[in-house]
A and B are shown apart, each in its own frame.
Chain A
Amino acid sequence: AQSVAQPEDQVNVAEGNPLTVKCTYSVSGNPYLFWYVQYPNRGLQFLLKYITGDNLVKGSYGFEAEFNKSQTSFHLKKPSALVSDSALYFCAVRDMKNAGNMLTFGGGTRLMVKP
């Protein structure tokens, strides 16, 4: 069975500093990996994905994520955090070998960016 772990419930960072939100995954086949962001009282918005190719993936709003196959990780990063980045972030994985191709989400990490 596929699974996703986001080990930090909350990440605090000062505006202008780099941020990292951690994600590790487990799948039996090749992973399709995703990051979504959720602002208060809103649905999830797609940020970026990794399917194949370069391990560093660039997405919306200046975010990027690094795929590391040996560590089964897909950490979300941004060089310089903004207060407006404060939100709930979800990592998700889809195992393209499994029937149904269900998307499995991590528990979410709340990012707080302080001015």
Chain B
Amino acid sequence: NAGVTQTPKFQVLKTGQSMTLQCAQDMNHNSMYWYRQDPGMGLRLIYYSASEGTTDKGEVPNGYNVSRLNKREFSLRLESAAPSQTSVYFCASSPVGFGWEFFGPGTRLTVL
């Protein structure tokens, strides 16, 4: 039981490049989330998916897109990376009604 897995662990991009962050969970959870973590700002929600087939914007969605590929997988795409998107990205999942989220190990992204 791997929990929540994320790939890649590290990535360096140049401004304007695109990439997709992958996330998968094997706990049969309905809800999945993407957060970014910046120093002193805690975690901020980018997008979430309450269930397979649905996605909604969080607090900071600009510059990102998401795909809930199936119940297990939720990807985050940066179409044209900007230095302001340099951050650590966390994927999380939770079952319905459980209340708390299980986090992946994170992806450290640097945009030059």
Contacts and interface: CB of A to CB of B under 8 A. Distances in A.
Interface residues of B, number: 23
Interface in A43-68: 43-46, 49, 51
B74 interface: no
A4 B42 CA distance: 10
A22 to B, nearest CB: 14
A100 B90 CA distance: 19
- Most chain B CB within 10 A, of A4, A43, A107, A108, is at A43
Interface residues of A, number: 23
A20 to B, nearest CB: 19
A46 B40 contact: no
A74 interface: no
Nearest to B41: A107
Contacts of A44: 43, 90, 92, 103
Contacts, number: 49
B42 A45 contact: no
Contact of B40 (A4, A100, A108): A108
Nearest to B57: A100
Given A43-B90, A44-B90, A90-B43, A34 B100 contact: yes
A57 to B, nearest CB: 12
Contacts of A25: none
Interface of B: 4, 33, 40-45, 48, 50, 56, 58-59, 90, 92, 99-106
22 contacts: A4-B42, A9-B40, A32-B99, A34-B100, A36-B103, A42-B106, A43-B4, A43-B104, A44-B103, A45-B103, A49-B100, A90-B42, A90-B43, A100-B50, A102-B58, A103-B45, A103-B101, A105-B42, A105-B44, A106-B42, A107-B40, A107-B42
Given A49-B100, A100-B56, A102-B59, 7 more contacts: A34-B100, A43-B4, A43-B90, A43-B105, A44-B90, A44-B92, A90-B43
